[in-house]
A and B are shown apart, each in its own frame.
Chain A
Amino acid sequence: MSTILSFFNYWVVVALMMIGFYCVIARGNMVKKIMGLNLFQTSVFILFVTSGKVSGGSTPILREGVEIYSNPLPHVIVLTAIVVGVAITSVGLALAVRIQEAYGTIEDDHLGDDDDDERLALEDRQRR
């Protein structure tokens, strides 16, 4: 029982990581792919923060009456990673926007599909 409890966090991390991985490789939509990448990223953050936790410890801010602190170093690196992750996400989304402008779609499967593009363009012109 104690084994299950002590490894539960790691298994949650693996589950989240695999959900994100599946989202990246199985979904054609680029926004969805980026969300999958973010899921994957968050699971790594949780893994790092888990490694810094000490049972009975507290947030690493010095104050009276607290003896045990959790390890602050994983928190620092995760903080950096979150911010860099958002920068990467924004570049990815900007690329998706450009692809949408140039090809009229952000679905992987439709990018090489000229007929589809022409049909969509035709629909748009008819609408105007």
Chain B
Amino acid sequence: MVAVAIVRVRDLFAAGMLFAIYSLLSAALFTVLDAGDVALTEAAVGAGISTILVLAVLALARRYEHPTGGHNLVALFVVIITGAVLVYATLDLPEFGHPDNPAQVHVGPHYIEQSYPDMGVPNMVAAVLASYRSIDTMGEAFVIFAAGLAVFALLSVPPRRRQSGIVPRRPLSDSREDEPADEKEKPDHE
């Protein structure tokens, strides 16, 4: 699968592109699973903004990952053990797509029946996100704003002020100024 290729490819540029493909594939999967809104967001955010961010970083950092010899056996061991435990745990999960699953019989039907009379918005996801949970969504906007501030604070220090004599591998280009601006725009997108 594409995910394996992302981990294996040493060229970070190729990895970024593969990640965009992966996001698009997962957006398609979300569509198949009836989550149209999630698919749109994933396609726009995962395949779009994330890729731009990775490319902006690669413009500043080195493009090729340092090769490490062979596999990390300890890590592989830990991962396989964890995966086996999780697969064992999935056997307790409810059957996929069954209408009587616990997730479907609790509060879900209430929202499906009541969101239109309550809010008058045919799209239930939008009704829940922007009306029932509007305070939470505002908190999310604050999180994005805080992230934008953090990125700005991290990157706004002029490189000349660093006291160490180590010179970056590549001269800093104009893309450095672009990135905080990019961050600032994001609250508007959502």
Contacts and interface: CB of A to CB of B under 8 A. Distances in A.
B33 A73 contact: no
A36 B34 contact: no
A123 B54 CA distance: 26
Q: Is the interface of B mostly helix, strand, loop or mixed?
A: helix
A115 to B, nearest CB: 12
Contacts of B167: 104, 121, 124-125
Q: Is the interface of A mostly helix, strand, loop or mixed?
A: helix
Contact of A54 (B3, B99, B179): B99
Given A20-B3, A104-B167, A45 B26 contact: yes
Given A22-B79, A31-B54, A78 B35 contact: yes
A35 B55 CA distance: 12
Interface in B112-156: 112, 115-116, 122-125, 128-129, 133, 136-137, 140, 143-144, 146-148, 150-151, 154-155
Nearest to A20: B3
A14 B123 contact: no
Nearest to B102: A51
Question: Counting chain A CB atoms within 10 Å of each CB, which of B29, B79, B86 scores highest?
Answer: B79
Contacts of B57: 31, 93, 96-97
Interface residues on A, range: 35 or more
Interface residues of B, number: 98
Contact of A90 (B82, B157, B183): B183
Contacts of A54: 34, 97-99, 104
A101 B93 contact: no
Contact of A27 (B33, B65, B93): B65
B35 A100 contact: no
Contact of A22 (B37, B54, B76, B96): B76
A55 B98 contact: yes
B97 A32 contact: no
Contact of B41 (A11, A21, A79, A101): A79
A97 B125 contact: no
A31 B111 contact: no
B7 A79 contact: no
Given A45-B38, A91-B147, A94-B154, A82 B46 contact: yes
B90 to A, nearest CB: 4
B174 interface: no
Given A19-B3, A109-B68, 5 more contacts: A29-B65, A49-B33, A94-B179, A101-B159, A104-B167
Interface of B: 3-4, 6-7, 12, 15-16, 19, 22-23, 26, 29-30, 33-38, 41-42, 45-46, 49-50, 53-54, 56-58, 60-62, 65-66, 68, 71-72, 75-76, 78-80, 82-83, 86-87, 90-91, 93-99, 101, 103-104, 107-108, 111-112, 115-116, 122-125, 128-129, 133, 136-137, 140, 143-144, 146-148, 150-151, 154-155, 157, 159, 162, 164-169, 172, 179, 183, 186, 190
